[in-house]
Structure 1
Amino acid sequence: MHNINSNKSISVVIPNYNGAVLLAKNLPSVYAALKHSRLTYEVIISDDASTDDSVAFIKANYPDVVLISNSTNGGFSVNINKGIAAAKHDLVLLLNSDIKLNDDYFESQIKYFEQPDTFGVMGKIIDEATGKVAESCKYPLPSAFKINHFKNIAINPGIEAYSYYLSGANALVSREKLNELGGFNEIFSPFYHEDLDLSLRAWENGWRCYYEPGAVCTHAVSSTIKSHSSKKRIKTISTRNRLLLHYFHLDSSTLYLWRVITFLSLPFKLLAGKAYYVTAYRLYLQKLKVMRTYKATFKQDAIKKGRYVPFVTVKNNIKTKLDEVLNIQTK
């Protein structure tokens, strides 16, 4: 099926782990939105060694799905990257299994890809439990060191707006650019901060991320991770990944000061009863050599192609553009 207004095609990539119930609930909305768009499409589900009947459910009810059944559990980045590798179409929708799409979800997003420097776009996410907006346009907040310091802001329909990052729950991205970045950084497995990292690498590579309020979906917030991991483990892994995120994207004197302050804070974290933070720091150190190499390779490649934009510049540019949008909305 082809949309008369676009020659784009879509690969929907859904990472799954023990999500049979979620797939049964939400896959019908994915197909409805794809058919409504009249674009050529495929649906890919990468299963991360589920122990429920996810694989059997998919085979019995959705035989057209490209199913990748993994024998070992690799975590989010590893799992979704296998789905990305199988994708064949122009655009890739990175979609959580706990997302339900509105029928017209794709209609307002395709236009962004007419611009050659568009990496991707995300839509508005509604919390299923409350009916309120759970995620929207990501606005970077002022901070000397904190990268994951942002807020969700409302954008009026019809206004083009950058987004600091694209939520991994519902990001529509260019497959070509996604593959050039190497997909998600698997050092962040099993979960958390990989979507922020991916978007920042896109920005630092000279590309742009957008927010489209007309593309609406519903999300059972964080149900996938929280249902399978303890609070302590989530906190520890999230902290480790936050440290890795900062190491990758900070640079020069800012990176040096951040590393000193982080190290000096460790005794105070222990005194405050945050032993998990010290554990996370140790895990961060174990990954540091690999991340250092990854960072050097990325930066050298972006500089060689004449695209590299430092994180500080990226953040300032996004904030400036969004401030302009907010000023227009208040007039």
Structure 2
Amino acid sequence: MSGNPQKAVTIVIANYNGRALLEKYLPHAVAAADYYSFDTEIIVVDDASIDDSVAYLEKHHPSVRVIRHAVNLGFGRASDTGIRAARNPVVILLNTDVCVREDFIAPLVSHFAADDVFAVMAMSLREDGHTPGELVKVPFFKRGYLKFVSSENADLQKVVSENDGFPSYSFYAVGGHCALDRAKYFELKGFDELYYPFYFEDVDLCYRGWKRGWKTIFEPRSIVYHYHDSGSIRSKHREAYIGNIIRRNRLLFVWKNITSPRYFCLNHLLPVLFRSIAGIFVLDVSFLRALFGALRRLPLALKRRKEEKLQERILSDEEIFKLILSGSKSFKKELLHEVGASASILDQ
């Protein structure tokens, strides 16, 4: 392997009771590290597993660095531990339920030759090897929530296909299969524990990068296979609980990060107020539970919002949305049909 420090990579895998997944998918990451032409290390952060994950790693993968947490701290903290321990300037985050292609590293790392790139996301496919799992993240507001066009959207798939493997801007990079500029990660102060125990830490991190003018890129030439149903989160928690955390964190993200009066008031606050009142009468339990969960963290969200306002901001909310959506023009009519009330955002 070459010693070029600018292209050296550390792969960080956060693990919790994922012994079976490590046995199944880690050899592919090891093979990719061997295939890559430059220095590569692999770190597994064991987040207080009670299975034999560590024993398996020590026996079968002695070249992999293992860092153990005494208590379970969640995805963000486990990933942060690995990023801090990494010795290389580019860090690739992988979930334990992600299987990588041998050549997935180089397309990700190539983008960091530019000083204004913070994160690069690989394209994930489902188990059949053809159905998209995670594609470019295109944002819109719907009923007060910040959401993203589904990767199952035929028009989004068409745009990605017609781009013929050409990279594009993405609202965020999925934390389960992305590369980060380690130095910029620390400038952003890492993942925010506001979203504990999981989900939306990656959205928040990349958006704070965008505000500073640091781009997040979707790289379809880097391909991985993501088996969500076998991952530690979905195998350990009920769907109702996971859904509640996601809805809660959608609200917290807006409260912390969105400063545009138009987006915050018109596309978020007014719909949320309406849903809050209507939810009491129609017993919209899922929304109300998420709302009250978010309100319990409102003081921390406002503290973080104040801290972010003190940072130098290069791009506004409107400018970021416009940059992302500029790659979606070829399916604008279909997108407008899907997002409904948020169409005004797309007409900037």
TM-score by length of 2: 0.85
Cα contact 1:13–1:84 (8 A) shared by 2: yes
Paired with 1:322 and 1:100, the residues of 2 have a C-alpha distance of 29
Tell me, yes or no, if structure 1 residue 293 matches structure 2 residue 303: yes
Matching residue of 1:2: 2
**Are 1:311 and 2:317 counterparts?**
yes
Residue 298 of structure 1 aligns with an amino acid whose one-letter code is: E
Work out which of the residue numbers 212, 215, 226 in structure 1 matches 2:219: 212
Q: Which residue of 2 aligns with 1:232?
A: 240
Structure 2 segments unaligned to the other structure (5+ residues): 333-348
Distance in 2 (alpha carbons) for counterparts of 1:142 and 1:181: 25
Match of 1:36 in 2: 35
**How far did residue 113 of structure 1 move?**
0.9
How many Å apart are 1:299 and its aligned residue?
Answer: 2.5
Which structure shows the higher helix fraction?
Answer: 2
The Cα shift of 1:111 comes to 1.9
Q: Secondary structure at the match of 2:48?
A: coil
Number of equivalenced pairs: 321
Distance 1:220 1:181 in 2: 29
How many angstroms does 1:267 deviate by? 4.1
How far off is 1:109 after superposition?
2.4
Structure 1 CA distance, aligned partners of 2:328 and 2:34? 33
Match of 2:264 among 251, 255, 260: 255
User: Which shows bigger deviation, 107-116 or 19-28?
Assistant: 107-116
Q: Secondary structure of 2:70's partner? A: coil
DSSP 3-state at the match of 2:9: strand
Instruction: Choose which of 283, 287, 300 in structure 2 pairs with 1:277.
Output: 287
Task: Tell me the distance in 2 between the aligned counterparts of 1:215 and 1:97.
Answer: 18
Evaluate the alpha carbon distance shift between residue 110 and residue 221 of structure 1 in structure 2; reply closer, same or farther with a 3 A threshold. Answer: same
Pairwise CA RMSD? 2.3
Q: Is the 8 A contact 1:161 1:325 kept in 2?
A: no
Q: Deviations over 1:49-82 (max 9, x none)?
A: 1121112211222223222211222221122112
Check 1:231–1:322 CA distance in 2 against 1; reply closer, same or farther (3 A cut). Answer: closer
Unaligned runs of 5+ in 1: 327-331
TM-score by length of 1: 0.89
Q: Is the contact between residue 101 and residue 217 of structure 1 (CA under 8 Å) also seen in structure 2?
A: yes
Asked whether the equivalents of residues 116 and 215 of structure 2 are also in contact (C-alpha less than 8 Å), the reply is yes
Q: Deviations over 1:164-208 (max 9, x none)?
A: 211111111111111111121111111112221121111111111
| Structure-1 residue corresponding to 2:278 | 268
Contact 2:109 2:179 in 1 (8 A): no
1:308 is matched by which residue type in structure 2?
A: I
Q: 1:323 to 1:2 in 2, by over 3 A?
A: farther
Code of the residue aligned with 1:55 in structure 2: it is V
Amino acid at match of 2:109: I
Q: Deviations over 1:272-309 (max 9, x none)?
A: 443232222222111111111112212212x2xxx432
SS of corresponding position for 1:109? helix
Measure how far apart 1:87 and its partner are.
Answer: 1.4
Pairing 1:116–2:118 present: no
Query: Taking structure 1 as reference, are residues 325 and 121 closer, same or farther at Cα in structure 2, changes over 3 Å only?
Result: farther
The answer to whether the Cα contact below 8 Å between 1:100 and 1:217 also exists between their aligned partners in 2 is yes
Relative distance call for 1:262 and 1:151 in structure 2 (3 A) is: same
Deviates more, 1:120-129 or 1:165-174: 120-129
State how far apart, in whole Å, the 2-side matches of 1:223 and 1:272 are.
35
| Structure 1 residues 51-62: aligned runs within 5 Å | 51-62=50-61
Please tell me whether residue 246 in structure 1 is matched to residue 245 in structure 2.
no
1:223 and 2:222 aligned: no
In the alignment, does 2:208 pair up with 1:201? yes
Q: Tell whether the 8 Å contact from 1:120 to 1:174 is kept in structure 2 after alignment.
A: yes
1:92-125, CA deviations, whole angstroms, 9 ceiling, x for partnerless residues? 0011011111111112222211111011211110
Question: Contact 2:144–2:272 at 8 Å: present in 1 too?
Answer: no
TM-superposed deviation, 1:147: 2.4
